[in-house]
Homo-oligomer: A and B are copies of this chain.
């Protein structure tokens, strides 16, 4: 079975927006054993869309399209798909009721013609009802190819993929199994690692594929197995990993399942009944924001003080002026004092604190751009680590956020 994901929209082609939808869809398809062979972004241009559709129909069994379903004139996906299907647009009553409800009850204004036309769909299409927005998803078939059209707004697309598309695909297609397993290694470069495990790699069975995913300071090894028997795949993967492990023992951190750390940490905190708070300087509230992106975070997260100005560190977190004078505001001592202060103030079991210089210019201290101290307060005490995350600002902040979550996660796993 061959699948392609198409995004329609000039905003992607001019680099104004990065397409994150396709990756999300690919992950969901992979979980049900559908491999994505291509991703494609094309413009909001009728001829371009028509040419692409007929070209893809010859090559793929499944074409998932996002974008171009908005109510405005530049959104031409629906009309163009309808033309491609030799169909006509008709009003769908369920969608029309829903749109009317949304606009009149929810937004408290009269419905306009443009809004009503959101309920127009090709007469032969199957509507994928969009509970969370005004543009319905559409399922169409032409010869042996399934075309699915979804809105480009990420949360609407996600809703439809999870609640409508995946269940219907599972029902319609026989699929093989695809299993990925990623191993996270630290401290040995990609080429050295490759030479070391070359023999093992050469002996991998055909149905298992290896990929190297290098990042600064770490390499992930991804093994992908594909076949019709899930148990056989699992066993083969396990065997290969057992052969590999002794060869990379010194740099292997662990298996890695791609789930964001804030979810894993959240589950760990909940299960142990621990609470947490943060005191953030250079991360500016982003650790708190990432923690609270998980629904149900209120069970373990009490809050944060973002002490961006030095005076807030002194006045609200009660960090002694002398300590800041003596050690500098970007220091191990201040990170630890911040962590202890917020832990006490918010009466939590654990606390994360950050102080650093995210750049691009030097701030209230002389610390090099990229320097960050992360402090961790625990029921047994406090510790901190120093990092230099380089540049640019965005990367420094994100790496500090990840490091804060990672340090506390590892600490709890190890000692609690």
- Which residues of A line the B interface, CB within 8 A? 9-20, 22-27, 30, 35-44, 48, 70-75, 106-107, 109, 112-115, 132, 153, 155, 159, 180, 182, 189-192, 194-195, 198, 201, 209-214, 222, 224, 258, 278, 280, 283-289, 291-293, 295-298, 301-309, 311-312, 315-316, 345-346, 358-361, 363-364, 388, 390-395, 397
Contacts and interface: CB of A to CB of B under 8 A. Distances in A.
A302 B293 contact: no
Contacts of A109: 192
B297 A284 contact: yes
Nearest to A346: B312
A303 B362 CA distance: 18
Nearest to A44: B211
Contact of A40 (B38, B113, B191, B297): B38
Contacts of A23: 12, 15-18
A104 to B, nearest CB: 13
Given A292-B306, A295-B358, 10 more contacts: A13-B39, A14-B26, A37-B48, A72-B191, A75-B212, A107-B189, A284-B293, A286-B286, A304-B306, A306-B306
A334 to B, nearest CB: 15
A395 B10 contact: no
A190 B289 contact: no
Of A112, A295, A296, A303, chain B has the most CB atoms within 10 Å of the CB of A303
A159 B75 CA distance: 35
Nearest to A7: B39
Contacts of A346: 309, 312, 316
B194 A224 contact: no
B39 A393 contact: no
Contact of A106 (B24, B26, B388): B388
A364 B212 CA distance: 41
Given A306-B303, A361-B296, A390-B132, A14 B224 contact: yes
Contacts of A48: 37
Contacts of A14: 26-27, 30, 36, 180, 224
B295 A303 contact: no
A324 to B, nearest CB: 15
A25 B15 contact: yes
A308 B292 contact: yes
B295 A359 contact: yes
